[in-house]
Amino acid sequence: MSIELVHIGFGNILAMSRAIAIASPNSAPTKRIIHDGKNNGKVIDMTSGRRTKAVIFTDSGHIVLAALAPETIASRFQTNRPITSKPDQSDIADEP
């Protein structure tokens, strides 16, 4: 299993293989989850003092705050992934 690292701004790098979702911090439920996470010690603030624009939820239950927009992080993740080639005809199973 390879670890895919993505730069999420201001020298911070995240292992995207551990990320479950990337959300905007503007909704009330997301704000509530961040508040609860701060009380439980599960919030990792990677904004470097900037405004939070993305909230990343991980499989370990941690909540990562980032200063980049969710779209920017997702596009960086997509551009870092290798492009897979089309399968050969021999790789495709015969259909009945």
pLDDT tens across the length of the chain (96 residues): 678 999 999 999 999 999 999 999 999 999 999 999 999 999 999 999 999 999 999 999 999 999 999 999 999 988 766 545 454 444 444 444
As for how many domains the chain has, the answer is: 1
Determine, yes or no, domain membership for 28: yes
Domain presence at residue 61: yes
pLDDT for residue 80 = 66
Per DSSP, the residues of 13-54 read: EEEGGGEEEEE-TTSHHHHHHHHHHHHHT-EEEESTTS---E
Alpha-carbon radius of gyration of the chain:
17
Q: List the domain range (segments joined by +) for residue 29.
A: 19-80
Residue 3's pLDDT is what? 85
CA distances from 77 to 2, 17, 37, 38 (A): 14, 10, 25, 26
Give pTM, 2 decimals.
0.80
Q: What is the pLDDT of residue 33?
A: 98
| CB-CB contact of 24 with 34 (8 Å) | no
Q: Are 77 and 4 in contact (CB under 8 A)?
A: yes
